[in-house]
Amino acid sequence: MMVVDYVIIGAGYAGLSAAALLSHFGFSVVVLESHTYVGGCASYFDRKEFTFDVGATTLSGLLPHQPLGKIFSTLGITPKVKKLEPGMVIFLDDKKIIRYANQQRWITEAEQQFQSKGQKKFWDTLFTMEAELWNMLEHLVYFPPTSLRDALTLLPLIKPSVLRSSTGLIRPLYVLLEQYGLHNDRQFVRFVDEQLLISTQNKSDLAPLLPSSIGLVYPSETYYPMGGMNKPVEQLEQSVRKNNGSIFFKQRVTSIEQLPSKQYKISTAKGKEFHTKGIISSIPIWNLPAITSGSIQKYFEKKSRQHPDGWGAFTINFAIEDTMDLETAYYQLHSQSPIPYCSSDSLFVSFSLREDREKSPEGWYTVTISTHTKAEDWFALSEDEYERRKEAVTKHLLQEFDNRFDGFKGAVKQYVLAGTPRTFEFYTKRYNGYVGGIPHTIEKPLPFMTPNKTPFDNFYVIGDTTFPGQGTPAVALGAWNVVQRILRK
């Protein structure tokens, strides 16, 4: 049995950010991961000389005032990344839209592609909001407040400008479309909605203004991690080990018990046992009722009922011969017909960069295609029906890919592997195979998300089902805030 200051559950960006920071500041930590690799929803798998990202494929939030930027700077980590220009290319009907990273260049492109007036004011407003929100989030270590002490620490932040901005948590992005007369441009609304689905997991009628600003502006700060999304998180792993932290793989947590001594006993499926004064869980809140008991279990059952919904993803990974030049690593393709058994009208396509020899050998790219689907549509099926649906979606997505990328016609594809929410649940152990966390919505805005601090002594929750939500920068911010709480005790 090991006794440590903190046990961190999950070795994704959230869990390893918290573990690396705590070990950096002198705490003893153990990280427990059910999978064989780090990364969580940003992990990977290999097929001979090819490496495939299995979840998140884009990296952002690296500026000095943003979460990953602060974490990497604190730890002395320099991730090997390449900023992309353009950040993304979008195919929408007959349009090819270049999502430039440069703000003014992008606004000019939007004005040319979408003739409706109001583009400049709309995008200028979003860029301003995005900057304001990052500034606001930087000071919200004790938000959402869980005690009078937390609330008192927030009082100095209550200023007229903050109060004006905070209305963007309860108003949908659609009001901004209406304000600038863009709501009648159906093609532009489609474009915005599908962009929002990638980042906020909701469309403009429900996605709150403030989170939407980050979701729509993020291609301006999109980075490609050389070697894959797992490489920066592996640097976090190395930081943990350098500071004498321990990481155990294939150690699925099966129970968390609060002891009379106010410590916690954590047990794993392989019989390991740990005693700790503190827990930081980065797994989904939906997974926690099954491994807790008593008042802790009731708390997480309540939180799970309050936030019952999540998205699933259908993904395809393959390697393809390098027979055409690419303008960027990331593309969004609006499907020319409905995607069977899926809930989005678009697919997101991520390529490895030609110079990235860690992901593919010379003469090849690796490719990940993903789209939204309802997780419940992939369970409780006969094997024949499951395989039939899987084949139908795979065929459709590959056809869309072939139609949009003429330069790959005739190119050889290798290792064409499709994944569903069932696949994701099997490998990540996430409840229902949900990805992307809890959708941002005006019906349950950010202040009502599960706070990082629970009512139980030294028990914290981070990750994409807690404040401040989904996305690598957000889960990193949750980890940063929890560590700041611990340091300020």
The partner residues of 370 in beta bridges, in order of sequence, read: 315, 348
How is residue 132 written in tokens? Answer: 């304001």
The partner residues of 29 in beta bridges, in order of sequence, read: 6
Burial group, residue 443, by CB count within 10 angstroms (0-12, 13-18, 19+): exposed
Q: What angle do CA 194, 200, 202 make, to 5 degrees?
A: 60
Closest CA to 207 of 193, 191, 218, 220: 193
* Parts of the chain belonging to CATH 3.50.50.60: 2-42+65-81+226-308+442-487
How do strand 246-248 and strand 29-32 relate by DSSP bridges?
parallel
3-class SS letters over 83-125: ECCCCEEEEECCEEEEECCCHHHHHHHHHHHCCCCCHHHHHHH
How is residue 433 written in tokens? Answer: 């195979």
For 2-42+65-81+226-308+442-487, the fitting CATH number among 3.10.25.10, 3.40.50.300, 3.90.550.10, 3.50.50.60 is 3.50.50.60
Per-residue confidence (pLDDT) for residue 261, from 0 to 100: 87
User: pTM, whole model, 2 decimals?
Assistant: 0.95
Residue 134 CB neighbours (<10 A): 18
How do strand 2-9 and strand 273-281 relate by DSSP bridges?
parallel
Q: What is the pLDDT along the chain (489 residues), one digit of tens a residue?
A: 778 999 999 999 999 999 999 999 999 999 999 999 999 988 999 999 999 998 888 999 999 999 999 999 999 999 999 999 999 999 999 999 999 999 999 999 999 999 878 999 999 999 998 988 888 887 889 988 898 888 888 777 666 555 566 777 889 999 999 999 999 999 999 999 999 999 899 999 999 999 999 999 999 999 999 999 999 999 999 999 999 999 999 999 999 999 998 899 999 999 999 999 999 999 999 999 999 999 999 999 999 999 998 999 999 999 999 999 999 999 999 999 999 999 999 999 999 999 999 999 999 999 999 999 999 999 999 999 999 999 999 999 999 999 999 999 999 999 999 999 999 999 999 999 999 889 999 998 888 999 999 999 999 999 999 999 989 999 999 999 999 999 998
**C-alpha span between 257 and 430 (Å, rounded):** 21
